[in-house]
Structure 1
Amino acid sequence: MKLFALKGSEILGASVARALWTELDPCEERDFEDGEHKARPMVSVRGEDVYVLHSLAESPGSSVNDKLCKLLFFIATCRDNGASRVTALVPYLAYARKDRQTKARDPITTRYIAQLFEAVGTGRVVGLEVHNFAAFQNAFRCETVHLDARRLFCPEIRSLADSLPVVFFSPDGGGMKRVQLLKEAFEADTGLTTSFGFMEKRRSRGVVSGDLFAGDVKGAAVFIVDDMINTGGTILRAAEACRDRGAESVHAVATHGLFGAGVEQLFESLALDRILVTDSVAAASEAVMNFPQARIDVLPVGPLIGEAVRRLHTHGSIGDLLGMED
C-alpha cells in the first residue's frame, strides 16, 4: 500500500498515516512560471494499492479548481505508472452542493466531478460527510465510500450538554436527515432521550427567507447540525432563533469548518456557546489561531480516515466502523 497527501493536505495526511502506523510516501509537486504544474510519486507504485488524500477546499494561494486538477493529474499518473488501484481520499468534496437543477439550465456539477474522477481511472472515492449522500452515491459509477463524524461528536455533545435536556436542530429543511442520524447515534451511545427541531430556510438569488420554527428549545442545550460552515449565516440565523425561544445554551456542530469571508460575524456573536468542527480542512485549525474569541473546538478526523483505509486495504467492514445496521 502507498499513501500520498498533496500540498495543503499534508497535516491531515500525516494524521492518517499515524493512525496506520506508517508514514506518508514522498511525492514531488512543482509549479511553473506560466501557472502550470506537475506532480509525481517519488516511489514506485507499480502493482500497488494507492491512496491519495486531498481536501478540495480553497486555501490561500490555491483555489478549489487548482486542487481538483492536481488531484486528478496525480491519480492519472499513478495509474499510468502501474498502480493496481487508486483510491481518492477526499475529506471535503468540492462542488457537492450543486447536485440537482433548481433553476432553468442549471449545471449538475456533482455528476461532472464524478465523470472527471472516473475519466482518470480512479478506482474508488472516499468522501467525508458529503453535502448530499444519495447524490454522491448516484453520481459515481466507480466505487464510493461515505464516512461521517457522528461518533466523534457524541462525547463532545454529552460534555457540553451537561445535565440539560438535549435538542438536535436543523437550520433548514434539507438537513433534517443528517440531524436525525446524529440524534440516533447520540441516543445509542449515551442511552439518553433527546428532542428534535428545525426551521424553514429558503434561498433564491442570495436572499434567505422562511419563518417556520418547529421544536421546543426552552431551557435546553441546542446543537445546530450542518455538514459545513462557510460564512456562518445559516448557523447564526438558527442560533438567534433558538436564543429568542429560550434555549439555555446553543452550539454548532459541522464536519467541515470552511470559515470563508464574512464568518467573523459568526465568531463574534454571543448567540453561540461553542462551535464543533473537524480538521477535514486546514481552515478550521487556522481559525482557532486567527480568531481566539471564536470558541472553536476542532476534532481530529485522521484516525477515522486511517481506520477506513486499513479496512479498505484488508477488505474489512466499513459498515462496522460507522455503526451501520445489517
Structure 2
Amino acid sequence: MPNTELNDESIFYTNSDGKIETIPVGPLGLVPLKGCDMLAKKVDKYLVQWRNEKESEHKSNIIFTGYERDSYIVPSTISRFGSGEAKGTIDASIRGGDLYLMVDVCNYSLTYSLFGMTNHMSPDDHFQDLKRIIGAVGGKARRINVIMPFLYEGRQLLRLARESLDCATALQELARMGVDNLITFEAHDPRVQNAIPFKGFETVQPIYQFIKALLKSQPDIAVDSTHMMVISPDEGGMKRAVHFSNMLGLDMGMFYTRRDYSIFVEGVNPVIDIEFLGSCVEGKDMLIIDDMISSGRTVLEAAKQLKARKAGRIFICSTFGLFTNGFAKFDEYYEKGLIDRLFTTNLVYQSAELLSKPYYVNVDMSKYIALIIDNLNHDASLSALLTPADRLNKLLDEHKKKIG
C-alpha cells in the first residue's frame, strides 16, 4: 500500500501512470560524510520506498541492475593519524555509479584528536574530508555530484579589499577533481557559479517547505496581503523576499541598515541606524525571511522594530540556523512576545537544545533532497522542483478552504 505522504509530491520523470520513462545515469549511490548521516538516512528511506513502488517493464533489464535496493548508502571512512592528518576510504564498489556525496560543513559538533588534544571540526576540516572521499573514488564512478546545503566559504565570494576569493577557489578545486554537479541551498550570492561555468550548479530556495511548515504549525494563519507581509531584515536579502512575496501574493517590506564602514567590530561593520521601507504593518502577521541566522542580531532587530510598529505575530524563516552566539537572545525575545515562531531547516547540524525550544519549528528537507537526487539520477528536469509554483498554489488553495 503506497504511503499517502507521497501524494503531495510527484516523481517528475515518470508519466501520469507512475511508470519510468528514462533510464538512470548509473547505479545510485549516496555517500554521506560524517556529520550528515542522519539526513542521509532519511533521504535514503524515501528513495528505497519510491523505487520499490515504481512500475516499469524494464526493471529486469540489465540497465536497471541495482535499481531496487534495501539501501543506497555507500559506506565511507575518514581515518586520522595521531598528527591530525587523515585519509578517506570508500568501503564498497562504486565503479560506474552515479554518486551523491552529502556534506554538512557547519557541523561543529564533530571532533578529532590532534596530538592528544580534542579539536572541533571547522568548515575547512569538512571540506578537506570531502576532497579526500572524492580522491578515494579515483575516477571509477560515472558521475560525481556533491550536495552541500551550506555552500563552503559562501560568505567570502567577492573582494571588498585585498582579500581572497575562497568560495570561487573551492568550487574550481571541486571541478578539477571531477565533480559534475553541485547542489546547494540559498547560496549567499548565486553569481559565484560563474567560477565554474561548465559544471552544474543549482542553488535551491526551500519556499514550499517553509510555507508547508508554517501552515501546519499555524493552522489559523491567513496568507493574503490584508493579513500578512513578507519582510527582508536587510537590503542584502531583498531579492529573496521579493521572490517569496511574489510566490505568495503578499506585500513586501525591508529594513535598510546604515553601517559605519570605517571600522570592524567582531568581523562586521557596526550598525548606525535601521530604517524601514514598506507599507503599514499594523495588525499584520510578519514573515521575516533570511538565508542564515548566525548571531541572529539582524532578524531579532527586525522583529523588535516591527513590534514597535504594532505588527501582529512574528514568524522568522531562515534556511540555516547556526546560532553562533547561542539562544539567550531568542529566548528573551520569545518571552517578551517579540517573536512567535522560528523556522530553520535540518540542512545543517541542529543541537538538542535548539530542538527543545518551544518556539522552534524544524523544517525537514530530506524528502525534497530525495526528489532532487531521484530526478538527477534519471537526467530529468529540475525546473518544477526548483520553482514549485503549482504545488505552492495548490497548498495555499487547500489551506484557504480549511480556514474558510
Q: Common fold, TM-score beyond 0.5? A: yes
Letter of the 1:315 counterpart: D
Distance 1:140 1:226 in 2: 26
SS in 2 for 1:242: helix
Aligned partner of 1:125 in structure 2 is 182
Q: Say which of 51, 56, 63 aligns to 2:100.
A: 51
Query: Hey, what's the Cα distance between the residues in 1 that align with 2:258 and 2:121?
Result: 31
Match of 1:109 among 166, 174, 179: 166
2:208, 2:388 within 8 Å by CA — same for their partners in 1?
no
Aligned-residue offset at 1:24 = 1.5
Counterpart code for 2:252: F
Point out where structure 2 has 5 or more consecutive residues left out of the alignment: 1-27, 49-70, 110-119, 390-404
Structure 2 letter corresponding to 1:48: G
The alignment status of 1:72 with 2:131, answered yes or no, reads: yes
How far 1:35 sits from its partner (Å)?
A: 0.5
Which stretch shifts more, 142-151 or 1-10?
A: 142-151
Equivalent position amino acid for 1:282 in 2: Y
Matched, 1:165 2:232: no
Cα displacement string for residues 13-68 of structure 1 (whole angstroms, at most 9, x for unaligned residues):
11111121144221122222110122211111111111100011141221111101
| Alignment-derived partner of residue 56 in structure 2 | none
1:201 to 252, 257, 270: 257
1:180 offset after TM fit, Å?
1.3
Equivalent residue letter for 2:211: C
Residue 344 of structure 2: SS of its match in structure 1? strand
- CA shift, 1:323, in A, is 2.5
- Asked if the contact 1:285–1:298 (Cα under 8 Å) also holds between the matched residues in 2, the reply is no
CA gap 1:209/1:139 in 2 versus in 1, 3 angstroms: farther
- 1:37 is matched with 86
Q: TM-score, normalised by structure 2?
A: 0.73
Contact in 2 for aligned 1:154/1:185 (Cα 8 Å)? no
* Cα offsets for 1:157-216 (capped at 9, x unmatched): 3453614711100010110110111222233xxxxxx22100012454221233221122
Tell me the amino acid that sits aligned with residue 86 of structure 2: H
* TM-score where L is the length of structure 1: 0.90
Shift of 1:81: 4.8
Larger radius of gyration: 2
The one-letter amino acid of 2:203's match is H
- The corresponding residue for 1:93 is 151
1:181 matched to 2:248? The reply is: no
Looking at structure 1, the residues matched to 175 and 140 of structure 2 have their Cα atoms a distance apart, in angstroms, of: 17
Q: Is the 8 A contact 2:258 2:274 kept in 1?
A: no
Query: Is it true that 1:311 corresponds to 2:375 in the alignment?
Result: yes
Instruction: Tell me the amino acid that sits aligned with residue 316 of structure 2.
Output: A
Letter in 2 for 1:100: L
Q: Aligned residue for 1:190? A: none
Amino acid paired to 1:201: T
1:158 and 1:12 map into 2 onto residues whose CA distance is 23
Q: Residue 83 of structure 1 aligns with which residue?
A: 141
Q: Specify the alignment match of 1:210 in structure 2.
A: 273
CA RMSD of aligned residues (A): 1.9
Residue 273 of structure 1 corresponds to which residue in structure 2? 340
> Contact conserved, 1:278 with 1:284, CA < 8 A, in 2?
no
CA contact (8 A) 1:233 1:266 kept: no
Q: Give the C-alpha shift of residue 148 in structure 1.
A: 1.8
Q: Secondary structure at the match of 1:123?
A: strand
SS at match of 2:291: strand
The whole-number CA distance in structure 2 between the counterparts of 1:17 and 1:96 is 27
| 8 Å contact kept, 2:230–2:252 | yes
One of 127, 151, 154 as aligned partner of 2:208: 151
Q: What SS class does the counterpart of residue 18 from structure 1 fall into? A: helix
* Corresponding residue for residue 191 of structure 1: none
Shift in alpha-carbon separation, 1:156–1:58, aligned structure 2, 3 A: closer
Instruction: Give the 3-state SS of the residue equivalent to 1:112 in structure 2.
Output: helix
Q: Retained in 2: the 8 A contact 1:220–1:249?
A: yes
**Structure 2 residue corresponding to 1:15, chosen from 42, 47, 50:** 42
Which runs of 5 or more structure 1 residues have no equivalent in the other structure?
Answer: 188-193
Aligned to 1:25: 74
Distance 2:128 2:375 in 1: 28
Q: Is contact 1:75-1:120 (8 Å) kept?
A: yes
Distance 1:233 1:200 in 2: 14
Give the match for residue 300 of structure 2. Answer: 236
